[in-house]
Structure 1
């Protein structure tokens, strides 16, 4: 049985929660990557594509953020953050699986980027994402239901 995860469009009232969440989930990765970790930079990242942001709730309690941009051909997972207290319970995998099922049903590609210092990249490859590009700090990954069905990944 699936956990009762629900989504609610983020509003300005959620900024403080999202700032706290971002600091807990992303600042360690940014610090390890020698990227800015100040409050203003974190706030700018929260506000990026804020119209696509939803708060993730578990049993009526906020546990994370999902920011997704859907187009005719792609589902771009802009941000997925799960509170550290809720990590390791399969929630991220469940949320991503739902998105990948949607992409497969609609014949779309799913894409995301992940910092090279973020261990979540292993979750993404286990779900079928492959690295299609990279820069100094990030991997750019895609999932396509009609490609890479042999179970391999590109991290090796």
Structure 2
């Protein structure tokens, strides 16, 4: 297991979530996941939806990418950057077949708890067209900035 081992365990639904470092052999899974989770949001934001743009995004800071495993099956991606002064959730994507079950919320709650204990803020960005922004707001993230396509959000205590 990766440095996310402290986050593994049973979530509120008693589903076993684990994390492992993403590998080059995960590329097909990650590209498929990106297309399933992001195409509608990218299209509605007039952003590119090409294989090349998906590959570029998946490979961006790939060393920080972790595969989310549920009951021994890969179901998502968590790309996270832990700095000395903050934690950035760079990407979190859950397969649509697993969405709506509280998995993303559980992962984010674990990250928030880690940040509280370390006395660090958590930041992320979300496309304005992505309904996940409601989840982030419900968890206590506040919009601190925005650009044409995205909100930059931050959680801090």
* 2:6 aligned partner: none
CA RMSD of aligned residues (A): 0.6
* 1:62 aligned partner: 74
C-alpha deviations, 1:71-93, integer Å up to 9, x for none? Answer: 11100000000000000000000
Mapping 1:1-156, distance limit 5 Å? 2=11, 3-145=15-157
C-alpha deviations, 1:34-64, integer Å up to 9, x for none? Answer: 0000110011000001000000000000000
In structure 2, C-alpha distance between the alignment counterparts of 1:143 and 1:46, rounded to whole Å: 25
* 2:4 aligned partner: none
Q: CA deviation at 1:11?
A: 0.5
What SS does structure 1 have at the residue aligned with 2:52?
helix
Q: CA deviation at 1:28?
A: 1.0
Q: CA deviation at 1:27?
A: 1.2
* Structure 2: tracts of 5 or more residues without a match: 1-9
In structure 2, C-alpha distance between the alignment counterparts of 1:27 and 1:52, rounded to whole Å: 22
Give the TM-score normalised by structure 2: 0.91
Give the TM-score normalised by structure 1: 0.92
* Structure 1: tracts of 5 or more residues without a match: 146-156
In structure 2, C-alpha distance between the alignment counterparts of 1:136 and 1:85, rounded to whole Å: 30
**Corresponding pairs, count:** 145
